[in-house]
């Protein structure tokens, strides 16, 4: 009887954090390795069907491009026509290495070049920017400001209101800051009572989301104005130019905040590691200001001097533009394979969101396009080279993928 070795594994749908597989397996499974075959046992999940336990037997001669990425094992199968990559997770890195050691050590020249370039890119980013403190700071700032505004809103809506809510002189005046603080304190005082009444949560969800009868839209608009939204009548008419900056950190409702923060987290981590934290902050602010200026000019040209613009999307489009500028530079240190990957991922996102902006009436496409163009120009100014010096200071090895 031929020797065989069995391993417990877990299959996943393809995503940014998990390896996919062409067999559409999901969940716990098993890999049986024999001298001439590899048998995969798992549960397949297909649309409009019940999950089905299946077994697939692969010839060892058809397996190539085996590599280990942390606890994950990935390889290609030459006889599969669709989604040729197979991947699964093991309990630990040692198990992944043990499986890979039993599989063929055969790499195609094309894949070896692409894999080596991707690893070089990650090594260079790890050398220059091993962490991303700026992106977490920006996320925290946007979220905390939104929560502060929500607390203030609870103070405004407190029956009976202890303070009349009326236009304040602006953040530059001491009495305005004090009034905002008092309203937030009132809102904070309401929290224990809200927690004791579960029915109140639907009202609060509506207030966070910015819909329903719980909050008058005029009150929400006035609150955004008091916190620094970008309205031409005030930004230019009242010479409150600081609104170009403050409007970048305000959001109209919870969905607006969540979408922008998710996109910022997805794109910002890579962008910060490419530019470095200080340059990334500069890129974010410059792009956001360009987006605010573009929104301001567009509102004036279309005779919407009362337009009220808020959101981080202009800055987010700007860091994407900055990333496009960075990877397009000849001395960037970004390998050609990675440049192709990033352009292929960025282009559909930009096309979809800009096109959607022309369809959805409440989208500030001027801020998006202005931020994108401003970020692209700023990206050229702030770009650096990722090439590692000839004699770098020794650094701790990166926990990344390994060829086998």
Query: Is there a contact between 385 and 327 (Cβ–Cβ < 8 Å)?
Result: no
Query: Is there a contact between 90 and 99 (Cβ–Cβ < 8 Å)?
Result: yes
**Set 129, 292, 313, 332: catalytic member:** 313
Q: What share of the chain is helix, strand, coil (3-state, %, to 5)?
A: 55, 15, 35
- Token pair, residue 186, equals 């009132």
- Token pair, residue 225, equals 């104005």
Alpha-carbon distance of 135 to 148, in angstroms, equals 20
Strands 52-59 and 37-44: antiparallel
Rg, C-alpha atoms of the chain: 27
Query: Is there a contact between 251 and 150 (Cβ–Cβ < 8 Å)?
Result: no
Query: Is there a contact between 3 and 34 (Cβ–Cβ < 8 Å)?
Result: yes
Sign of CA dihedral 160, 165, 171, 176: negative
CA dihedral 210, 213, 215, 217 (to 10 degrees): 70
**Set 368, 380, 385, 387: catalytic member:** 368
Alpha helices in 66-173 (DSSP H): 93-101, 109-128, 133-157
Query: Is there a contact between 248 and 337 (Cβ–Cβ < 8 Å)?
Result: no
Query: Is there a contact between 132 and 268 (Cβ–Cβ < 8 Å)?
Result: yes
Known catalytic residue at 368: yes
Query: Is there a contact between 371 and 311 (Cβ–Cβ < 8 Å)?
Result: no
Cα maximum dimension of the chain: 87
- Residues 6+ positions from 8 with CB-CB distance below 8 Å: 28, 29, 30, 90, 91
Known catalytic residue at 95: no
As annotated, the active-site residues are 313, 368
């Amino acid at each position: 009887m031929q020797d065989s070795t069995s391993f417990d594994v877990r299959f996943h749908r393809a995503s940014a954090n998990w390896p996919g597989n062409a067999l559409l397996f999901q969940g716990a499974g098993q890999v049986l390795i024999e001298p001439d075959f590899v048998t995969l046992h798992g549960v397949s999940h297909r649309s409009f069907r019940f999950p089905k336990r299946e077994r697939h037997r692969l010839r060892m001669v058809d397996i190539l491009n085996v590599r280990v990425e942390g606890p994950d094992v990935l390889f290609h199968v030459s006889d599969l026509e669709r989604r040729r990559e197979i991947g699964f997770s093991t309990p630990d890195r040692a198990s992944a290495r043990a499986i890979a050691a039993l599989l063929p050590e055969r790499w195609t020249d094309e894949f070896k070049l692409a894999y080596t370039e991707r690893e070089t890119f990650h090594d260079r980013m790890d050398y220059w920017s091993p962490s991303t403190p700026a992106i977490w700071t920006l996320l925290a700032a946007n979220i905390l400001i939104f929560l502060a505004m929500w607390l203030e809103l609870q103070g405004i809506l407190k029956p009976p209101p202890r303070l009349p809510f009326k236009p304040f002189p602006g953040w530059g005046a001491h009495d305005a800051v004090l009034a905002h603080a008092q309203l937030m304190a009132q809102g904070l005082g309401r929290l224990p009572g809200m927690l004791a009444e579960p029915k109140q949560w639907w009202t609060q969800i509506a207030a966070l989301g910015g819909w329903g009868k719980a909050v008058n839209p005029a009150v929400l608009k006035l609150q955004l104005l008091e916190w620094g939204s970008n309205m031409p009548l005030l930004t230019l008419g009242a010479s409150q130019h600081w609104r170009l900056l403050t409007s970048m950190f305000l959001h109209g409702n919870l969905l607006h905040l969540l979408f922008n923060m998710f996109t910022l987290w997805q794109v910002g981590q890579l962008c910060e590691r490419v530019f470095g934290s200080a340059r990334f902050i500069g890129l974010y602010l410059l792009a956001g200001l360009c987006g605010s200026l573009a929104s301001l000019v567009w509102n004036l040209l279309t005779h919407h001097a009362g337009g009220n613009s808020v959101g981080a999307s202009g800055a987010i489009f700007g860091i994407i533009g900055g990333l496009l500028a960075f990877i397009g530079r000849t001395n960037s240190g970004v390998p050609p394979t990675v440049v192709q990957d990033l352009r292929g991922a960025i282009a559909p996102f930009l096309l979809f969101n800009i096109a959607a902006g022309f369809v959805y009436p409440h989208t500030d496409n001027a801020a998006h396009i202005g931020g994108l163009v401003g970020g692209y120009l700023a990206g050229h100014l702030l770009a650096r080279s990722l090439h590692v010096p000839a004699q770098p200071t020794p650094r701790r090895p990166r926990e990344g993928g390994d060829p086998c």
